[in-house]
């Protein structure tokens, strides 16, 4: 698992809609994600984290890669 975090460095409010921080977790496989998401330590942390924030956006996705800069998004 890889964990990254960051703070907005200058996007206009309209674009970030009140969000100022990002946290990303990258897993080696869907099985790794499932093991993490159901682990008791994660569930305990998530409960504390969610209680301390106003709102959150969560995306669970498999990244896609473009072959060239000219390839259109599907």
Say how far apart CA 33 and CA 30 lie, in whole Å: 5
Residue 17 confidence class, pLDDT cut points 50, 70, 90: confident
Global pTM reads 0.66
Q: What is the pLDDT of residues 43-55, one digit of tens each?
A: 999 999 889 888 8
> Could you tell me the maximum CA-CA distance found in the chain, to the nearest angstrom?
44
Domain boundaries, the chain: 1-6+29-61
Length of the chain: 74
Rounded to the nearest integer, the mean pLDDT of the chain is 87
Residue 18 confidence class, pLDDT cut points 50, 70, 90: confident
Say how far apart CA 60 and CA 34 lie, in whole Å: 11
What's the confidence (pLDDT) of residue 72? 63
């Amino acid at each position: 698992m890889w964990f990254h975090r960051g703070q907005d460095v200058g996007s206009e409010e309209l674009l970030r809609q009140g969000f100022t921080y990002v946290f990303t977790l990258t897993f080696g496989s869907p099985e790794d994600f499932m093991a993490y998401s159901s682990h008791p330590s994660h569930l305990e942390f998530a409960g504390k984290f969610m209680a301390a924030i106003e709102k959150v956006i969560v995306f669970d996705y498999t990244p896609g890669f473009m072959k060239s800069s000219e390839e259109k998004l599907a």
